[in-house]
Amino acid sequence: MPTQKIIIIGAGFAGIQLLKHIDEDNFEVLLIDKLNHHQFQPLFYQVATSQIEPGSISFPLRKILQNRKNTQIRMTTVTRIDADKKMIDTDIGAFGYDKLIIATGCQTNFFNNEQIKANTYSLKSTYDAIKIRNNILQNFESLLTVTEEEREFLLNLVIIGAGPTGVELAGAFAEIRNNILPKDYPRLDFSKLRIILIEGSQHTLNSMSDMAKKASETYLKEMGVEIMTNVMVKAYDGAVVQLNNGQQIKSRQVIWTAGVTGNIIKGLSEDAVYKNRYKVDRFNRILLYDDIYAVGDIAWMVTPKYPDGHPQVANVAINQARNLAHNLQRAATGKPLKEFEYKDKGTMATIGKKKAVVDLPYIKFKGFFAWFIWMFLHLMLILSVRNKMVIFINWAWLFFTRDTSLRLILKEQE
């Protein structure tokens, strides 16, 4: 029989990897998440741009865990941690633990600008992706009937933040404008549809290599995306984007991808938090606490190779979770623990058909082969065989036809 109770908060990449590798013979596990499904975040942008179905990247937790006899699931939000009593408070009651693992990931960082938060679209969930798809498609429909004055607001699609998500969104929307919309709306002139990508730093994909920066900018410009770098957004009221250089852009469709911040839970000491991430040791144990751990994007771990903490990417979350799961097993059987050491396997981003960039530790490349590698690796990370097949079929259909049949506006009827 299991001897210890473990609570895992969060069913992202880290949470799922923990569950896959924790030995049920030694631990009774309670997984808590506010959603009933795991989401494959790298492909949110493809849902937002009507390339794949929402169900293809969403995996019901009870289906994933239906064969684990000592794992329970509760769909709720954790509101507070009481480390002294070893309890957590949630919307449906309190739960006790022997060990607590926080894998809550990140949310969109609006840098305390409530106006921007209220009026822009973010992309941190499948539901966010569906909202973006609904809004963009509805605006295309509205172009058929609006006045000339309102038309300008709908013909400017603004994406703020030129990291991988922003670049991938801009490229996907450019392909839709160039290949699909003229066939869907033959009476509209989509050459006037502007896709504007705004970045506060000097380059797109600023955290990647010089090759990736230059190639991504070249690809996007060839596809007709307008790139504005070294520019910050000051305000957006739902109609006009105000930039710090004094320029204004009229738009009803603004997507914010300009940063993330950790999902901190109330209750732990402020001394255990740095830059909205939990300070952890090399075993992912939160400083000042013996039985509370943090993994993935929410964890701030300093190592000789990463003195400023690890990048907030899926590979870090997956590998930290695996190491922690094995360490919990080692501790339960009296074996020495293993420190976490991250081996960077590289970074990649796709801009469009046959257009991608890949930064590996010893080689960097772009173009068709990079695009193929990006597709293959992301397909392998999808959890179920069925979903791999569905996504592959959608990608193959899009590749050969330059079209999809997924442009659905899903909302309540008025």
How would you write the pLDDT of the chain (414 residues) with one tens digit per residue? Answer: 567 899 999 999 999 999 999 988 889 999 999 999 999 999 999 999 999 999 999 999 999 998 888 899 999 999 999 999 999 999 999 999 999 999 999 999 999 999 999 999 999 999 999 999 999 999 999 999 999 889 999 999 999 999 999 999 999 999 999 999 999 999 888 989 999 999 999 999 999 999 999 999 999 999 999 999 999 999 999 999 999 999 999 999 999 999 899 999 999 999 999 999 999 999 999 999 999 999 999 999 999 999 999 999 999 999 999 999 999 999 988 899 999 999 988 899 999 999 999 999 889 999 999 999 999 999 988 888 888 898 998 888 888 888 877 788 877 665
CATH 3.50.50.100 segments of the chain: 114-258
Among the CATH numbers 1.10.8.60, 3.50.50.100, 3.30.70.20, 3.40.920.10, which is that of 114-258?
Answer: 3.50.50.100
Residue 110 near residue 117 (C-beta atoms within 8 A): yes
- Note every long-range contact of 231-236, with CB atoms under 8 Å and residues 24 or more positions apart, other chains counting: 231/198, 231/199, 231/200, 232/200, 233/116, 233/160, 233/198, 233/258, 235/113, 235/115, 235/116, 236/115, 236/116, 236/119, 236/120
Provide the 10 A C-beta neighbour count for residue 371: 20
Predicted local confidence at residue 159, as pLDDT? 98
The pLDDT score that the predictor gives to residue 23 is 85
Rounded CA separation 296/277 (Å): 10
Task: Give the helix/strand (H/E) hosting 107.
Answer: strand 106-108
Whose tokens are 């040791």? That residue is 281
pLDDT of residue 406: 74
Predicted local confidence at residue 125, as pLDDT: 93
Domain ranges in the chain with CATH number 3.50.50.60? 4-34+76-108+261-332
- Crossing angle of helices 13-21 and 314-332, rounded to 10°: 30
Among 3.90.1150.10, 3.40.50.10490, 3.40.50.720, 3.50.50.60, name the CATH number for the domain at 4-34+76-108+261-332: 3.50.50.60
Q: Is the dihedral of CA 197, 205, 117, 121 positive or negative?
A: positive
243 contacts 198 by C-beta, under 8 angstroms:
yes
pLDDT of residue 275: 93
| pLDDT at res. 2 | 62
Angle formed at CA 300 by CA 104 and CA 198, multiple of 5 degrees: 75
Determine the pLDDT at residue 413: 63
